Structure formats: C-alpha cells, structure tokens
Amino acid sequence: MRNVIPAWERSAAARSIRGRVAVVGVGETTYYKHGQSPEPEVKLALQAILAACADAGIEPRAIDGFASYSNDRNDPSRLAAALGIPELRFSNMQWGGGGGGGSAAVGNAAAAIAAGYADCVVVFRALAQGQFQRFGAAPPAATASGEAALTFPYGLISPAQRFAMRVMRFLHDHGIGPGAQRAIALASYHHAQNNPRAVMHGRPLTPEAYDDSRWIVEPFRLFDCCMENDGAAALVLVSAERARDLRQRPAYLLGVAQGSEYRNAARGHNAPTYASASFTTVAPHLYAMAGVTPKDVSVVQSYENFTGGVLMSLIEHDFFAPEDANDILTLDNLVAPGGRLPLNTSGGNLAECYMHGLELQIEAVRQLRGQSPNPVPGARVAMVISGPMVTPVSSMLLGTEDVL
C-alpha cells in the first residue's frame, strides 16, 4: 500500500491535451473504388490538404507540420517542398498498428502544437491501393518468416483471416449472435445513402442481402468487411486560441489515448487478452483525460476493418456490457438521428470510403459543426475509435466549445 503519491504522478493529471487544440479544417478528395483513382496517390494527398485548408480558411503556407500513420508513402518533406511551405517544424509518423494510428496521429499533431513544436499541423492519409499492394490480398513473397511463418503456410494470411479468431472467441464467450454484426453493417450502409461522398451511396443494403452474402472467413460475411479504396483525407489543427478566430466552429480535442494491453503483440496469436479489440487499457485513459463518461458521448465513429471489431471496441469503451450486445446492437439503436448510439454516421470504412479510417475523424468534426449528412441533433461530444484488434490502437474525443 502506498501512502504517498509521488509528485510526478500527481502532475500527470495536469498533463492533458483537453481543450488546448482544435480541428479547424477538414477535407477529402473524391472517394474511388480501389484502383480507380485517375490521379496518383501523392496528388490525392495534396488535393485533400488543400481542401482542408480551404475549409478552415487557412493559407496552405501556414502549415508547419504533418502527422500520419501506417507508413503513409507521402512524406512530409516532399509535401512541404511541393506546397512551398516556408518552414517545416514537425514531421511525425505513428509507429505501427496500421489504421489503429488514426486517432493517435491527431493526438501526436495536437501534442506538437501544445508543446510549441509547431503552430498549424495537418493530419492526413492517402491511399491509392490500385497503384500499390492491396491490403486484402496476399503479398507476393514465396517465403514467410517471423510471425508470418506461423500463420501464412496455414492459409491465415489476410487481415480478415488474422482477426476472425479473436472475434470468434469473443462471440463464443458472451453468446453474441450474428444479428449484432449485421446491425453494424446495416447502419453504415443506411447512413451512406444520405452521403453523396460515399462510394456506396445509392447502393442500399437489406438484411436479406446481408444474410445471403458469401462468407469471407467465418464469422465474417462479405458485408462485415471494409472496402478497399483510393482517395485522401486531411484535417488541420491549430491551438484553441487561434481556432476561435477561424471560419468554422472549432472541434476541440478533449482527449486522445493510444497503446494496447500487456503483451498484445506476443507472436502467433499469444496475446493474453486475446478476445479483445485492444482497447481495454486505452479507453480508461481516454475517458479520464476527456473528463466525460460514455453517457456524454453524442455520436461514435468506430473503425470497421470488420464488424466484430466494432462490437468489441464499443464494449471496451463501456457503451454496454457484452451480455447486452444482442439487445443493444440493432439497426434502430445505431442510426442517426434517433438511435441511442448513433454509429458511423457517414458510412465509414464499410460504405463511405476505406480512407484507412481518417474519414471517421472528419465525420466526427462535421457532427459537431452540424454538417454531417446524418446529423445527430445537438451533438456536443463525438468519439472516434481507430483500428480495432491491432497494436497500437488509439481513440479520441472531440467536443464543442460549451463542453470545455
């Protein structure tokens, strides 16, 4: 038992991003099916950055930093040269976790602003999978070593195959039926029908079509799996003080957390907390920093690589207990404006665009501005959950000025 809390631990509570930085601009390119972008990937990145600057009313040459994730191929020095940026002050890549880095990249950008490293940081992601290797197909190598040696020779290769056993175990442990994953897929498609940006706009999904769709890998059907797309997305961040003078209503960062549980990366599916989306340690830090509870969250954008990952992400962020998943995860509960837990209100990775999740950050900002294609009336607090079942993962909370 400790009687004295060390000074460094007491000061940890004061070290917070809450209310210090805001997202002031968002932008994206046209979203394409994979391989269908008429533009090269780096040009897509530049277009999205300019769109976000225009949205913010900020001159692109005011940018002095960049943050991204998942080894984005378009490095900040090239972008800064291309854009004629006078001075590059922050160049940051979230290390590991693929799409799990989406919220972390926003957090890293915000930390740079709060620490004084830079004043105006762009978070971006650009993907033209048709021009490079697709995520969902096996890489062309003839041999596999390390983690891959334990899985590839058994036909456990793609992301869907990598995550299916985590979800299978979770569904088994908690008696969760197929309706829960179906509701998550239906909600994304439902919202995409009101979103002209969505790749699946005009392509509604019925429960029957979901049930009739082919298995990719049990327990995932076709519509449980994200799309693969071409496009780019960007957000502009500045300090809270500066945000108040800009064109759009600021979306203030309330908290960000990244990481994963004890030995999450133990090779060959040996994570002790296996049936998990990797947020069991991350989510409490997020809520503690933001000073809000799940009840305060108006709308959730939760990265759908696969619907089962969304299910676990929501539970680990304490929106409901696993035993209640079958009752809570219904289409009515998940759709804006009336649902009790409006989810993926732009269509997300399943039906808007697999912009590696960064479209979810943009949608969260639009919800707080009242600019969403499926607005949640009076939305004040928006959550984004990035990249379930990988490591590190990350999640973030944004709020309107009156929440501060």
Partner 1 sequence: MSEPAYHLPAGLPRPVAEPDGLDTPYWEGTRRGELRVQRCHACRGWQWGPEWICHRCLAFDLDWETVAPRGTIYSWERAWHPVHPALRGRGPYLVVLVELAHAGGARMIGNLLGDPMQSVAIDAPVEAVFEPHDDATPPFTLVHWRRTA
User: Binding mask 85-124 vs partner 1 (x if CB under 8 A, - otherwise)?
Assistant: ----------------------------------------
Rounded to a whole number of angstroms, the distance between the first and last alpha carbons of the chain is 35
The C-alpha atoms of residue 55 and residue 321 are separated, in whole angstroms, by: 39
Q: Is 217 in the site for partner 1 (CB under 8 A)?
A: yes
Minimum distance, C-beta of residue 136 to partner 1, in the bound complex (Å):
7
Active site residue 303: yes
Which span sits near partner 1 by CB under 8 A: 77-85, 159-167, 358-366, 370-378? 159-167
Which of these ranges, 92-100, 125-133, 140-148, 367-375, lies near partner 1 under the rule CB under 8 A?
Answer: 140-148
Contact 348, 187 (CB under 8 A): no
Taking the mean position of all CA atoms in its chain, how far away is CA 76?
Answer: 21
Query: Nearest distance from residue 171's CB to partner 1, in Å?
Result: 10
Specify the stretch interacting with partner 1 by CB under 8 A; choose among 24-32, 134-142, 238-246, 252-260.
134-142
Reading the block at residue 257, the tokens are 């957390």
DSSP assignment of 92-116: EEE-S-GGGGHHHHHHHHHHHHHHT
Among 93, 156, 246, 331, binds partner 1 (CB under 8 A): 156
118 residue type, one letter: A
CB of residue 297 vs partner 1: minimum separation in angstroms? Answer: 30
Q: Is 147 in the site for partner 1 (CB under 8 A)?
A: yes
Q: Is 144 in the site for partner 1 (CB under 8 A)?
A: yes
> Would you say 164 and 218 are in contact if contact means Cβ atoms under 8 Å apart?
yes
Distance CA 51, CA 72 (A): 19
Q: Which one-letter amino acid corresponds to residue 285?
A: H
Residue from 172, 244, 247, 340 in contact with partner 1 (CB under 8 A) = 172
Q: How many residues does the chain have?
A: 404
Stretch that binds partner 1, among 144-152, 282-290, 313-321, 328-336 (CB under 8 A): 144-152
Q: Quick check: 165 binds partner 1 (CB under 8 A)? A: yes
219 part of the interface to partner 1, by CB under 8 A: yes
* Residue 212 contacts partner 1 per CB under 8 A: no
CA dihedral angle for residue 205, residue 311, residue 313, residue 364, rounded to 10 degrees:
30
Convert 303-315 into a string of H (helix), E (strand) and C (coil): CCCEHHHHHHHHH
Q: Between residue 264 and residue 303, which ones bind partner 1 under the rule CB under 8 A?
A: 266-270, 274-275
Judged by CB under 8 A, the number of residues near partner 1 is 43
By CB under 8 A, which span of 76-84, 216-224, 289-297, 343-351 interacts with partner 1? 216-224
Helix (H) or strand (E) holding 286: helix 282-290
Q: To 10 degrees, what angle do helices 41-56 and 76-83 make?
A: 60
Identify which of residues 88 and 157 has a Cβ nearer to partner 1 in the complex. Answer: 157
Q: Distance between CA 336 and CA 286 in Å, rounded?
A: 24
Q: Which residues of this protein are in contact with partner 1, per CB under 8 A? A: 136-138, 141-158, 160-161, 164-166, 168-169, 172, 214-219, 263, 266-270, 274-275
Q: Which residues participate in catalysis according to the annotation?
A: 303, 354
